[in-house]
Structure 1
Amino acid sequence: MALYTHHLPAWKRTEVEEIKRHFEEYPVVGLVDMYGIPATQLQQIRENLRGVAYIKMARKTLTRRALDEIGGEAAGMSAHISGQSALIFTSENPFKLYKLLEQTKTKMAAKPGETAPEDIVVAKGPTSFKPGPIVGELQQAGIPAMIEGGKVKIKDTKTVVKRGQVINAKMADVLAKLSIKPMDVGLILKAAYQNGTVFAPETLAIDETVFLGQITLAAQQAFNLSVNAAYPTAQTTGAILAKAVREARSLGIEAGVYEKDIIDAIIGKAYRSSLALKELVE
């Protein structure tokens, strides 16, 4: 825990205490980056999350102060503070919170100096541009362009900015003209806290379809193992007994054990064998 030796003004102390109080009131707390969100979009996000989550904006120094005073694993969230940070308080579990915040994101054009969140790719094919200065602009940005059929055409698909690289002014201008919007704008979850555990966003980014498929496969494999190992459970006892009956019946038929339940099958087998032998003899 960090040690603070200076006295906080009353309004700052009130802010810190409010954050600490919300940590006690809500089981899950998220740290989000709000950088680049237009005011109108932020207002809409707040409205959409009303009754589900509460967004608390405060100065970074006061947020760090509150986290340090709370201590424990919560203090570790300070390391994730970046950009225009805010705290979000909710009763939803961290996975649901991550999903909710992903739904707040929209794509926007890149601004000069921003970092590419992923590889930015310009696909080959025709554009809506007529021949003109745009051809030179594209080529200067490293995008292979040509004139074809009275339109500007991108000759080859090309990755123009790698993930993590800074987008310069010339590239940002060209991408905007091509209507390529690579920037995710919304509440970006940097960390989530619940019951003394801090979750990184990559831990919470679960593909529900894939996860459900894995659970279904695991359940089926466990069921099959239980049946094949003759390990009875409430779910597999019926299948184990049915398998045992089938195997006992097959053994009885093959061994010619004359029991009333299988005598017809034994006679049928003998009849088929006699027909097969008759065909060989004839």
Structure 2
Amino acid sequence: MVLYTHHLPQWKQDEVEQIKRLSGEYKLTGLVDLHGIPASQLQQMRRDLRGTAVIKMTRNTLIEHAFAQLGGDISKTSEYVDGQSAMIYTNENPFKLYKKLQETMTKMIAKPGDVAPEDVVVPKGPTAFPPGPIVGTLQQAGIPAAIEGGKVVIRETKTVAKAGDVISEKLADVLAKLDIKTIDVGLNLQVAYYEGTFFEPSTLAIDETEFMNKLTLAGKQAFNLSVNAAIPTKTTAEAIIGKAVREAKNLAVEAAIYEKDVIELIIGRAQRESVTVKALTE
């Protein structure tokens, strides 16, 4: 659906024009979700990204207006607008941007109704609480607690919520008391449009260690294939020649072909065989 801006107030038209201008100035145009980020942390994240990316906060409807006017493939960016979206612009490739945004993530205390992004584990050990009602509060939340040596102690490590579970009010209160921060807060990349292609988080979330291990394995397998199939390359030519020389020497020794380079090997083999035969006949 085409959206028109001639009826918009001037400040909104200016916002739309700025979104369009920035989309033309940077190689990457993306959307990030700001939901749940406190203002102080958002400001820190913007400082962390300074020199790398520009964040443009505006209304979702104005984002949609801007992309409708831009047209072409980039206009499909508006299909990803959801929640409290903001624009992000950078000249970095989307993989580097995604990694940088992950590095700006921080942990916060869960609120009632939050969804646990991963298992929530309360470790065993002493707490800072003196004996009191806190013991009952912990036990009601499923955390085995007792009083030992005048302190409240958690007797065993306990998983109090699984990834995807909704945090209850009771559990949120206990986690806050224990200062256990479980919720990831940061700029969640919704989509990135870069050089004519859309990149979603599922594509950008790469385990770099696993990726490098796979690259290393692929390199070794390609090297071995080149050597064993005798396909010479700049990297494998020396290894192929070395393999050929070893195989030629082995053949000469096995066939007792008396050549200058293998005569000592043939004599050595004959000597070892004679020693073996002598040992068997004694």
* TM-score, normalized by the shorter chain, greater than 0.5: yes
Alignment RMSD, CA only? 1.9
Matches within 5 A, 1:25-174: 25-174=25-174
**Counterpart of 1:50 in structure 2: which amino acid?**
R
Alpha-carbon distance, 1:173 to partner: 1.3
Deviation at 1:22, TM superposition (A): 1.2
Q: Distance in 2 between matches of 1:124 and 1:79?
A: 46
Higher mean C-alpha displacement, 141-150 vs 176-185: 141-150
Return closer, same or farther for 1:271/1:237 CA change in 2, 3 Å cut-off: same
Structure 2: any 5+ residue segments left out of the alignment? none
How many positions carry a matched residue from both structures?
Answer: 281
Decide whether the 8 Å contact of 1:73 with 1:198 is kept in 2. Answer: no
Q: What pairs with 1:165-244 in structure 2 (closer than 5 Å)? A: 165-244=165-244
Partner of 2:2: 3
TM-score by length of 1: 0.92
Whole-Å separation in 2 of the counterparts to 1:217 and 1:224: 11
Mean CA deviation greater in 214-223 or 269-278? 269-278
Distance in 2, Cα, partners of 1:261 & 1:37: 75
SS in structure 2 opposite 1:55?
Answer: strand
Query: 2:3 touches 2:68 (CA, 8 Å); kept in 1?
Result: no
The Cα shift of 1:73 comes to 4.0
Matched, 1:270 2:252: no
Q: Is the 8 A contact 1:72 1:196 kept in 2?
A: no
1:127-167: per-residue Cα shift (whole Å, max 9, x none)? 33222111111122232323334332334433323333332
**Deviation of residue 255 (structure 1)?**
0.8
Residue 124 of structure 1, CA deviation: 3.3
Per-residue deviation, 1:270: 1.0
1 CA distance for matches of 2:104 and 2:195?
25
Structure 1 residue ranges (4+ consecutive) displaced by more than 6 angstroms after TM superposition: none
Paired with 1:214 and 1:22, the residues of 2 have a C-alpha distance of 37
Q: Tell me how far apart the structure 1 counterparts of residues 161 and 196 of structure 2 sit (CA, whole Å).
A: 39
Shift in Å, 1:15: 0.9
- Where do 5+ consecutive residues of structure 1 fail to align? none
User: Contact (CA 8 Å) 2:33, 2:187: kept in 1 or not?
Assistant: yes
Counterpart-to-counterpart distance in 2, 1:49 and 1:13: 27
Deviation string for 1:68-109 (max 9, x for gaps)? 333444333334333322111000000000111111111111
